[in-house]
Structures are given as structure tokens and as C-alpha cells.
Copies of this chain bind each other. A is one copy, B any other.
């Protein structure tokens, strides 16, 4: 369970989704300069993967209309993987043109949610995945982005209710067959529980292989976000999404809101002795950018207000700790 990014070894990759997932549900458009400052602050804190925007039509989502500029800015920061969301082939083409390192297309395991969210069936979405994979295959290897299918509503749907594990596994297999490099599991509705996280991860792993699923996107809608992270770590997942200040969620899933708070997640991991490469205090400082740029918007999280424990040592400063101290 270790990954090397920017030359420093880490145990868990915290993937920040705030600039896309967080902003997406906020109406007042943040200035391009503020977005750049936010990303700079995240990178300065040691964040190594940032979902910086989405290539959807500007008319549909004016908040993210400057994604091309943001990608260009983030690409210039050494050691940061620049991820973007795309709804279709057209968006993926723009992502490739701007040089994003990672492209994710969300595919909802609940077909009702897919139809309501993007007005497309599973078959249509998988066709889109295939078209994007073919397009990406033509990109010269040196600048070819990685391509992920994000399986949303994987833990339950606010329209359909429980989602069968079998259905998630089937879509994961279809996504990989259609040419995706990997899939991610997304608890869009905040329905997930630790037992489900363990079972679903194992089921998808045994269907498509461990290297094809490394990450999980959990929501804190019912306060279960970090509890689910513990289960994800137990089973061996090494990439976890989160959002600074916990902003964002899914505006199309009724009642669902609240990403995991990056600050609280990083505290959890570092306290457990798992290196993230992220400086918690700098992360908390980065909230200042959001407070100034999004006045009146609620920021969440406990660590930012409670502070670090007296005498707290992050994982990287505990090299002398015996292996028996870390489960």
C-alpha cells in the first residue's frame, strides 16, 4: 500500500475534488483567479491529485466554464495530477486538447438516476465510454491521459433505493471491456456502510482485477464518510476522494450532499500512521481562500475548528514507530 508521487512516498492518495465537485453545486460563479489561488493553496499543502473542473457546456454549468484555463494553470504545478470530469466524447476531446492527466466520466449504476441526471441509458453511456477510449487510444502515449469510469450511485440510489452488488460488478466489467483504464466507486447518495464498502470492493476486484479499482468517492450525508474510509483502508483501497471544507455533493440526487472533508480525512490518515504527503495546517489555511472567495457558503469539518491534538505527530514524523503500532 504505497504510491510514489512527486518523489515522496505516500501510503494513501487523497484526491481533492472540491474545485469540480464542490463548485458544481454553488451558484455564484467563482473567479478564475480565485480558483487558481485555491488550487495553488492545495498544491502548496501537498495535495497530489486535484479534480479541477468539468468539460460540460458552459451554458449548462457557467461555474466551470473556465475549466480549460484552470487545467492549463494546474498543469504548470509540478507533481500535481490534473483530473477533469467529462460527460461525453466532446468533453473528453476538450480534456485531451487542454492536456488533463486524468479523465473521468460518471456512469450511474442506477439507470433511473442516469436518465434523470444525463438523460442517457446504460447502453448509451457505455457507447460513450467506448468512443472516448478509442479517441484516447489515438493520443501519443507520452501525453495520453488515464481514463476512469466513475460508477455513481454504487451504494444505493435515492430514486431506485438499494442497488444490487451484481449490477455494480456488471457495469464495472462493461466499462473495462469498453476500454476504460479503471473504475471508481462512488457513494453519490451517502447510503454506504463499512460492510458494503468491503463487500463491494472485493466483488469488483474479483471481477476486474485489483489494479482496475483503486479509488473510492464517499459522501458524508449521514455522517458515515470516515467510518466508510476505515473500511476502505482495511480492505486495501489506496485512493480516497475528498473536498476541502466538505463543499459539494451531487445536486441531482435528492437529499444527497456533503463530500468527505479533506482536512478531517487527512487527520484520520496521518493519525493512523498513513502518509498522505499533505500538511494538515496548510490545508486548514487553504480554507481561507474559500472563505474569501465564497462568502456565505458553509464550510464543514471538525479538525479546522478543534485543532490538532496537543503533541500530534504526522505519520511522516513517526518513522521510529514500530510496525506493531500500525495495523
A residues at B contact (CB < 8 Å):
156-162, 189-191, 193-196, 198-199, 220-224, 226-227, 229-231, 234, 255, 258, 261, 264, 267-268, 271-273, 301-303, 306-307, 309-312, 324-327
Q: Give the dominant DSSP class at A's interface.
A: loop
A302 lies within 8 A of B220 (CB): yes
A193: nearest residue on chain B (CB-CB)?
Answer: B271
Of the A-B pairs whose beta carbons lie under 8 Å apart in the complex, a sample of 26, sorted by A's number, is A156-B309, A157-B310, A160-B310, A161-B309, A161-B310, A189-B309, A191-B309, A191-B312, A194-B230, A195-B271, A195-B272, A195-B273, A198-B327, A221-B306, A222-B306, A222-B309, A223-B226, A223-B301, A223-B302, A223-B303, A224-B264, A224-B271, A227-B227, A234-B234, A255-B307, A258-B302
Min C-beta distance of A301 to chain B, whole Å: 7
Would you give the shortest CB distance from A49 to chain B, in whole angstroms? 22
- Contact status A161-B311, CB under 8 Å: yes
Please name all residues of chain B whose beta carbon is closer than 8 Å to the beta carbon of A226 when the two chains form the complex: 223-224, 226-227
- The smallest C-beta distance from A221 to any residue of chain B, in angstroms, reads 5
- Report Cα–Cα, A87/B77, bound state, in Å: 58
B306 touches A190 (CB 8 A): yes
Cα distance A327–B201 when bound, in Å?
A: 13
